Structure 1
Amino acid sequence: MSSLTAIGFDADDTLWQNEQFYRMTEARFASLLAEHAEASHLSARLLEAEKRNLQHYGFGIKGFTLSMIETAIEVTEGRVPASVIRQILEAGREMLSHPVETLPHVRETLERVAGTYRIILITKGDLFDQERKLAQSGLGELFDAVEIVSDKTTSTYERIFTRHGDGPARSMMVGNSLKSDVVPAIKAGSWGVYIPQPQPWALEHSEAPVGEPRFKQLVHLGELIELLEQID
């Protein structure tokens, strides 16, 4: 039996596009409030609101939309027109209905590892939105388990890899976030595979655990097969 038996995959910006839609919506938000503040100032205030609101709304588009509304009220000192609030809400709804765009090498990589390893989708965010994206992606049948969690911590990976695998030591987590996908998985005893994307969210920043023997970095998901061959 292979020493590695289970692989967890992040969803947003690992399997399909996500962050670019946030940045596009943020640019639209900045244009709506251009007469009140510079785009850079709005971005900083929006990021502050997102950080404050994570504990209340969690991760995802709904919390982002509420943070945009809160920021609009703050920067206009309560004078933001109802028409702007309506357009912010429309932008949020458009994000929630945007077609899923899978990233390169995703399907063929998942098809190759399915059956050899137990593969688990481990994603955080709004339950309905994550379920929608998984269904639209057409990838759902490839996973042995799906875990939609409120946050990704060391205990999250310990629990999931024990429930769906042979424990963290015989598992691997693959994702685009060092903070959520890689560092806590390694702390749990798993392998952590980092696949960076060009538009990382500022609140997901973390230093790479370069000295950790179970840390690996790939250019794209297609390189995972060769890495698995090396590990096994």
Structure 2
Amino acid sequence: MKNIKVIAFDADDTLFINETYFAETEEKFCCLMSDYLSNQGISKELFRIEIENLKLYGYGIKGYILSMIEAAMSISNNTLPVEIIEKIIQYGKELLEKPIVLLEGVEETLSALHGKFKLVVATKGDLLDQRRKLHNSGLGIYFHHIEVMSDKQEIDYSDLIKRLEIQPEEFFMIGNSLKSDVLPVLAIGGHAVHIPFHTTWAHEKIDHKVEHENFRTYEKIIDVLGRLQV
């Protein structure tokens, strides 16, 4: 751990609340479409279309809005009235305007690490939306670099590490997703910490336990300070 030079943070559900808002929006969408299908059936079709569209839209709210519209058309067998589409667009705009709520211990952790390590954001999503959220969060002052990635695979982290001009063993990633924030970082030789969030998107879940000498799980983000001996 003495070799760590860069600490990277995921943004959504690591620094501030995100998935909770998506869950609330999906609940409203299911209610809106309840005349056509059960809530379980609606959620299943929306998820199927979301995953299918990732290669086209990537991650983020705008792609989610388009996927909701497409799912609604599919569920209604293309008999959807325009008022429903207008409502879905409204839900999407409301999602884009949700308040930024920092998670417990985030600012204290960043303040303690700032100046001792190079801090960066490494997150997925829409570039404009993620930059807006980080700006509105007031956390931008702590970060040397903000990387909004199209995906979080091994190659994406390797490219980031090259741009930061460090070695993998000098990179330390903190996030709420084992699939995106932990496994690819460990695979390239970096260090990773998992901070679980109470709600996780199904696409980010894995079905096996992670065991690695460079990996730890902590209940709260501020617990990382002990790991880094700060």
Matched with 2:164 is 164
After the TM superposition, which residues 75-94 of structure 1 pair with which residues of structure 2 at under 5 Å, given as runs? 75-94=75-94
Question: Residue 150 and residue 214 in structure 1: after superposition, are their counterparts in 2 closer, same or farther (change >3 A)?
Answer: same
Q: Distance in 2 between matches of 1:168 and 1:9?
A: 15
Instruction: Give 1:155's aligned amino acid.
Output: I
Q: Distance in 2 between matches of 1:156 and 1:184?
A: 9
Give aligned-pair identity as a percent: 38
Question: Residue 143 and residue 160 in structure 1: after superposition, are their counterparts in 2 closer, same or farther (change >3 A)?
Answer: same
Instruction: Give 2:213's aligned amino acid.
Output: P
CA RMSD in angstroms, aligned pairs only: 1.4
Q: Distance in 2 between matches of 1:193 and 1:90?
A: 37
Most deviating of 163-172 and 59-68: 163-172
Most deviating of 208-217 and 119-128: 208-217
Instruction: Give 1:194's aligned amino acid.
Output: H
Matched with 2:64 is 64
Q: Deviations over 1:154-179 (max 9, x none)?
A: 12212212322522111110000111
After the TM superposition, which residues 68-217 of structure 1 pair with which residues of structure 2 at under 5 Å, given as runs? 68-207=68-207, 210-217=210-217
CA deviation after TM superposition for structure 1 residue 209, in Å: 5.3
Matched with 1:6 is 6
Does the CA contact (< 8 Å) of 1:178 and 1:207 recur in 2?
no
Question: Gaps spanning 5+ residues in structure 2: where?
Answer: none
Q: Deviations over 1:87-119 (max 9, x none)?
A: 000000111111111111000100101111111
Does the CA contact (< 8 Å) of 1:10 and 1:174 recur in 2?
yes
Q: Distance in 2 between matches of 1:194 and 1:209?
A: 12
TM-score (norm 1): 0.96
Q: Distance in 2 between matches of 1:145 and 1:126?
A: 16
Does the CA contact (< 8 Å) of 1:105 and 1:221 recur in 2?
yes
Does the CA contact (< 8 Å) of 1:61 and 1:92 recur in 2?
yes
Question: Residue 157 and residue 209 in structure 1: after superposition, are their counterparts in 2 closer, same or farther (change >3 A)?
Answer: farther
Q: Distance in 1 between matches of 2:225 and 2:208?
A: 22
Instruction: Give 1:104's aligned amino acid.
Output: E
Question: Residue 82 and residue 48 in structure 1: after superposition, are their counterparts in 2 closer, same or farther (change >3 A)?
Answer: same
Instruction: Give 2:47's aligned amino acid.
Output: L
Q: Distance in 2 between matches of 1:78 and 1:43?
A: 18
Matched with 2:45 is 45
Aligned residue for 1:17, secondary structure, equals coil
Does the CA contact (< 8 Å) of 1:6 and 1:165 recur in 2?
no
CA deviation after TM superposition for structure 1 residue 4, in Å: 1.1
Aligned residue for 1:120, secondary structure, equals strand
Q: Deviations over 1:118-165 (max 9, x none)?
A: 111011110110010000000001001111111111122122123225
Does the CA contact (< 8 Å) of 1:5 and 1:165 recur in 2?
no
Question: Gaps spanning 5+ residues in structure 1: where?
Answer: none
Aligned residues: 230
